[in-house]
Amino acid sequence: MAVLGDSLFYDLLITVVLVLVSLYYYFTAKFDYWKDRGVAFVKPIPVFGNLKDQLLRTKTLGQVYSDIYGNLKGNRFGGFFELREPVLMVLDPNLVETVLIKDFRHFYNRPVLMDPKNDPLTANLFNLEGTVWKNLRNKLTPTFTTGKLKTMTEQIFNSADKLIEHIADESKQDKNVDSKSVTSSFTLEVIASVAFGLQIDKNSEVGKNFRELVEGLLKPSITQTFKILLILYASRLANLLKIKQFPKRLQDAIVFIVRDSLDYRKKNNVKRNDFIQQLLNVRQQELEGNLKLNLEHEEDDLIDQMKYVPKEEEAETSEDKIFMTDMHITAQALTFLLAGLETVSSTINFALFTLAENPDVQAKLHEEIDHVMKNHKNTWSYQAVKEMVYLEEILQESMRMYPQIPGIFRICTEDYQIPDSDVVIKKGTRVIIPVGAIMNDPNNYDSPEVFDPSRFQDNFFKPNGKFLPFGDGPRVCIAMRFVILEMKVCLAKIMAEFEVKTSDKMKTPLVFEGASFGPTPVGGFWFQFEKRK
């Protein structure tokens, strides 16, 4: 029996050793990928690659990319590893523009995370690729033109007025205001109105239900975190297991809200100046075979760079065409919600923080707002906000210092020789442009740690290889001009009424929560809003 026991023990030991060796080989088999190609790279570790701090939630993804960027400094590009997979990082601003614009045909797609056939609510511009993406992008671009934005301005102003009341009420109870809470209410109300056609009040049943739904979508949990990591770094497995982005009950709730809005409009012949109405107009134009893809103003070129998209050599199939079904409308509305809630609220708060920390800048902004409003007889309008150019410079500088996206993600769609090098990037290779690292590099901006809005004088949010808060090229954020308008209205309304100071409750210098996707200060945003005299 002792001999048999020893035999089983050694068999088990050998099995464990073989499993461990196999796992080690699996996770390290590609670790010579960049070395074999003569590309500078950051040495990875088994299992994690170069993402240990992000996966263990000790640093944000943007901070991890900045660390990798620092290790690759002096190179135009370099390599690192997401778990076991090799990834190319682009550091040089000129090469960034080449990848995003000039040679877009080689970097047409983002890494596909979810299969829309498995999860229809992921059939959005971020997740689609190829001709399907191009067709949907062409149809959606006119919904964000200057003319369309003007029709939505009143809704943003109304929400901003409620925000001012909210801040005043909070300030009466406690001079230290949780700014993230009040600005999140503002962005939620704007999105509810513009994207879902809902007029929500904080005390109404509709408002309560919608807020609970959004909290469910955004609420962090161990299960949701695991799903997101699986989708990000093992998307094939996630799709094979038919994992969906959100629980079925939340998806069903979103679908119900949109369909209820669509049914109400149809039965009562109601038309609103909102995003859903623009999508319904696209649907009607599709049915009539009279789809209008023309832009209205020169400034609309900022969101339309489709001239860089290569013409398709193969004929389109029926699957390539997007018909604006109820589900497609719901998918776009959901994307609008997820992309425009926390990121916009955080950007507004970082702008408030920089203003509170720089009283001279704040005073100059007060002067601009007062001057513009006097010229417009104290009547708020799209044109009045447009004329607040210093406010726009402040926003750009704030977004440079505290970008909400960690990076721009692409997939190499055709073998590509990097200009002025012998390195060939193989089809299927992931490519990352580290936005925050580039925009805070002393080689790109003198004294990047200093808040200086004058850097962006006469820039008007035009992207380039050194300034990428909304991306660049054909896949630039389609809603960027709407988001800019929303943030400008919010900040203009606040600064017209208040002087903003940093509260003692806000922890400075800023330290960011490692578990968050974007930069989130530990302890949150706390300000004192003092009524202007």
Which amino acid does the sequence have at 481? R
Domain ranges of the chain: 116-408+442-531
Asked whether the predicted pLDDT for residue 62 surpasses 80, the reply is yes
Higher pLDDT, 365 or 256: 365
**Average pLDDT, stretch 74-88?**
97
Residue 120, token pair as written in the block: 């229809």
Of the candidate ranges 69-73, 219-223, 399-403, the one whose mean pLDDT is the lowest = 219-223
Residue 305, token pair as written in the block: 């760079």
Cα 273 vs. chain centroid, distance in angstroms?
24
Residue 332, token pair as written in the block: 């776009």
Asked whether the predicted pLDDT for residue 221 surpasses 80, the reply is no
Asked whether the predicted pLDDT for residue 3 surpasses 60, the reply is no
Of the candidate ranges 232-246, 334-348, 402-416, the one whose mean pLDDT is the lowest = 232-246
Q: Are residues 338 and 217 in contact, defined by beta-carbon separation less than 8 angstroms?
A: yes
Asked whether the predicted pLDDT for residue 315 surpasses 50, the reply is no
Of the candidate ranges 74-88, 176-190, 203-217, 370-384, the one whose mean pLDDT is the lowest = 203-217
490 vs 484: CA distance, rounded Å:
10
Q: First vs last Cα of the chain: how many Å apart? A: 93
Asked whether the predicted pLDDT for residue 150 surpasses 60, the reply is yes
**Average pLDDT, stretch 247-262?**
89
Asked whether the predicted pLDDT for residue 216 surpasses 60, the reply is yes
Cα 5 vs. chain centroid, distance in angstroms?
58
Residue 109, helix vs strand vs coil:
strand
Given this model, what pLDDT does residue 217 score?
A: 80
Given this model, what pLDDT does residue 242 score?
A: 83
Strands 85-90 and 430-433: parallel
What DSSP string describes 333-362? HHHHHHHHSHHHHHHHHHHHHHHHH-HHHH
**Average pLDDT, stretch 122-138?**
89
Higher pLDDT, 250 or 75: 75
Residue 293, token pair as written in the block: 């893809």
**Average pLDDT, stretch 416-439?**
98
Asked whether the predicted pLDDT for residue 10 surpasses 90, the reply is no
Which amino acid does the sequence have at 221? S
227 vs 241: CA distance, rounded Å:
11
Of the candidate ranges 109-113, 188-192, 263-267, 305-309, the one whose mean pLDDT is the lowest = 305-309
190 vs 24: CA distance, rounded Å:
50
Q: Are residues 397 and 354 in contact, defined by beta-carbon separation less than 8 angstroms?
A: yes
CA of 360: how far to CAs of 113, 335, 367, 399, 402, in Å?
45, 38, 11, 19, 20
Q: Are residues 60 and 516 in contact, defined by beta-carbon separation less than 8 angstroms?
A: yes
Helix (H) or strand (E) holding 81: strand 77-82
Q: Are residues 446 and 60 in contact, defined by beta-carbon separation less than 8 angstroms?
A: no
Q: How does residue 299 score in pLDDT terms, banded at 50, 70 and 90?
A: low
pTM exceeds cut of 0.85 = yes
**Average pLDDT, stretch 279-283?**
89
**Average pLDDT, stretch 393-416?**
97
Q: How many percent of the chain have pLDDT more than 90?
A: 62
Question: CB neighbours (10 Å) of residue 169?
Answer: 11
Given this model, what pLDDT does residue 267 score?
A: 93
**Average pLDDT, stretch 36-40?**
97
Q: Are residues 350 and 512 in contact, defined by beta-carbon separation less than 8 angstroms?
A: no
Positive or negative CA dihedral for 357, 358, 363, 367? negative
CA of 112: how far to CAs of 115, 168, 170, 235, 456, in Å?
8, 45, 43, 8, 34
Query: Measuring CA to CA, which residue among 423, 430, 443, 362 is closest to residue 398?
Result: 362
Given this model, what pLDDT does residue 246 score?
A: 80
**Averaged pLDDT score across all residues of the chain:** 90
353 vs 180: CA distance, rounded Å:
11
DSSP state of 114: S
Asked whether the predicted pLDDT for residue 232 surpasses 90, the reply is no
> Is the peptide bond between 359 and the residue preceding it cis, with omega within 30 degrees of 0?
no
Strands 77-82 and 85-90: antiparallel
Given this model, what pLDDT does residue 312 score?
A: 61
**Average pLDDT, stretch 494-511?**
96
**Average pLDDT, stretch 248-275?**
90
Q: How many percent of the chain have pLDDT more than 70?
A: 94
Q: Any residues with CB less than 8 A from the CB of 97 and at least 6 apart, and which? A: 464, 465, 472
Given this model, what pLDDT does residue 314 score?
A: 45
229 vs 225: CA distance, rounded Å:
6
Does 477 count as an annotated binding residue?
yes
Given this model, what pLDDT does residue 5 score?
A: 57
Given this model, what pLDDT does residue 313 score?
A: 45
**Average pLDDT, stretch 320-344?**
86
DSSP state of 244: -
Q: 411 forms bridges with which residues in the sheet?
A: 109, 430
CA of 35: how far to CAs of 88, 435, 464, in Å?
13, 25, 31
136 vs 130: CA distance, rounded Å:
10
Higher pLDDT, 522 or 309: 522
* Range 116-408+442-531 has CATH code 1.10.630.10: yes
Residue 198, token pair as written in the block: 């809902």
Burial category of 38 from C-beta neighbours within 10 Å (exposed 0-12, middle 13-18, buried 19 and up): exposed
